[in-house]
Structure 1
Amino acid sequence: MSLLRITEIFYSLQGESNTVGLPTAFIRLTGCPLRCVYCDTAYAFSGGKKMEIDEIIAEVEQYSTRYITVTGGEPLAQRCCLELMIKLLDKGYFVALETSGAIDVSPVDSRVVKVMDIKTPSSGESSKNLYKNIEYLVPADQVKFVIGNDEDYEWSKTALTEYDLPSRCQVLFSPVMGQQDPAQLADKILHDRLPVRFQIQLHKILWDNAQGK
């Protein structure tokens, strides 16, 4: 029996990534080995309830959307997450995985769209970046830099070049809400002509929370 510890399953608009605005079912797994300073889902560090994979799938089916986001916490901290995503894919769902980039992504099914953070210095967890994960990124995937200040921005620009990220996949620059002014970040991207997608957390604009509901 395959069990996962789940913090919540909910239905909302996707607030980030290249499917922003699409009605999506979110499966938030419990637990994370990182403690980013700006984390807005610390409630998912512990607790939750154990659910069988078929039970999880039955719950998301009620929302009648083909878009599923598996998030956390850090979903890959639970090995059965891989089986969950395969079963969702086999049912025809579009599955995106939001991952911190601190755990090996090589076992993830190639049909999953990986949305992988590269932790910036202000997160307090940049030492946890597992850079070998970059080798497993494909054009459909996305790398996200969450930027809190000028140091993060310059650091992220260096990473773009050092790892030739724009040639591998889409690159997202996102401001830390309440810390990095979004307009200033947008202006920098335009000024430096960076080949990245600016994104802002839509759900926080609409509903001012991490769930977006």
Structure 2
Amino acid sequence: MTDNSLRITEIFYSLQGESNTVGLPTVFIRLTGCPLRCVYCDTAYAFTGGQRMAITDIIAEVAQYGTRYVTVTGGEPLAQPACLELMTVLADAGYKVSLETSGALDVSGVDSRIIKVMDLKTPSSGELAKNLYENINFIMPDDQIKFVIGNDEDYDWCKALLTEYNLTERCQVLFSPVMGQQHPTDLANKILQDRLPVRFQIQLHKLLWDDARGK
């Protein structure tokens, strides 16, 4: 085991299903392991297992797909310290890299070229206490803060946080419904009624491929 290798669950090519690059062909690097256990998690298969790969081998596999967009995801990617090096190497190679992180681990060391998509955990996630609010200080204008909303309590909590931290002035804010729990139309209507300056999103990959792995 070396510092410049990581445990990888899968590397796959698909359309970006979330964030402000939704719909763009993207290579996803899914790292293994996560310290959280959100009740609605759809990638529990990434908690354990995986294959250890050197960063050079990861880069070589990514290059086969011929796209400039790469998303590093999990699990929780930052649970593996070498994730920081991987993202820097990808950025050095000219890729437009995004990081999907839970917001529970320190993001201060993330290369400034990486787009952070930080998921602050709502009450219904079961992991509200894991939020590291100090991370908000390291969010840049090109980053995104995501809220996965499962019910009215979540929605009200998110609205309060928007005001408390002035989030929409810091970066783009994403509101996403928990599939099968929060009706998307109801959430969309609330956003319009309250005139919230947030981006509503539905997980495109689930509409296209349901819960198929590698999509």
User: Measured at CA, do residues 115 and 211 of structure 1 come closer, stay the same or move farther in structure 2, by a change above 3 Å?
Assistant: farther
- In the TM superposition, residue 210 of structure 1 has moved relative to its aligned partner by 5.8
Shift of 1:211: 4.2
Please tell me the residue identity of whatever aligns with 2:81. R
Report the AA paired with residue 11 of structure 2: I
Q: 1:14 maps to what in 2?
A: 16
How many residues align? The count is 213
Name the counterpart of 1:57.
59
1:171 is matched with which residue? 173
Any idea what the Cα deviations from partners look like across 1:156-179, whole Å, max 9, x if unmatched?
000000010000000000000000
User: Is contact 1:147-1:175 (8 Å) kept?
Assistant: yes
Q: Is the Cα contact below 8 Å between 2:12 and 2:214 reproduced in 1?
A: no
Please name the residue that 2:95 is paired with.
93
- Structure 1 spans left out of the alignment, 5+ residues: none
Q: Distance in 1 between matches of 2:197 and 2:89?
A: 34
TM-score, with length taken from structure 2: 0.98
Aligned letter for 2:19?
Answer: S
CA gap of 1:97–1:185, structure 2 versus 1, over 3 A, is same
Identity of aligned residues (%): 77
Instruction: Please tell me whether residue 157 in structure 1 is matched to residue 159 in structure 2.
Output: yes
Q: Check if 1:202 corresponds to 2:204.
A: yes
Written as runs of structure 1 = structure 2, the 5 A alignment for 1:133-152 is: 133-152=135-154
Letter of the 1:146 counterpart: V
Distance 1:199 1:212, change over 3 A: farther
The residue that corresponds to 1:24 in the other structure is 26
Q: What is the CA–CA distance in structure 2 between the aligned matches of 1:90 and 1:179, rounded to whole Å?
A: 40
Q: Which amino acid aligns with 2:85?
A: E
After TM superposition, the score normalised by the length of structure 1 is: 0.99
Aligned match of 1:191:
193
| 1:86 match: secondary structure | helix
Cα 1:54–1:139 shift into 2, 3 Å: same
2:105 aligned counterpart, secondary structure? coil
What secondary structure sits across from 1:110 in the alignment? coil
8 A contact 2:117–2:144 mirrored in 1: yes
Residues 1:123 and 2:122 aligned together: no
Say what the alpha-carbon RMSD is for the aligned residues.
0.8
Distance 2:81 2:117 in 1: 18
* Displaced runs of 4 or more, over 4 A: none
Distance 1:193 1:76 in 2: 34
3-state SS of the aligned residue for 2:163? helix
Letter of the 1:36 partner, please give it: C
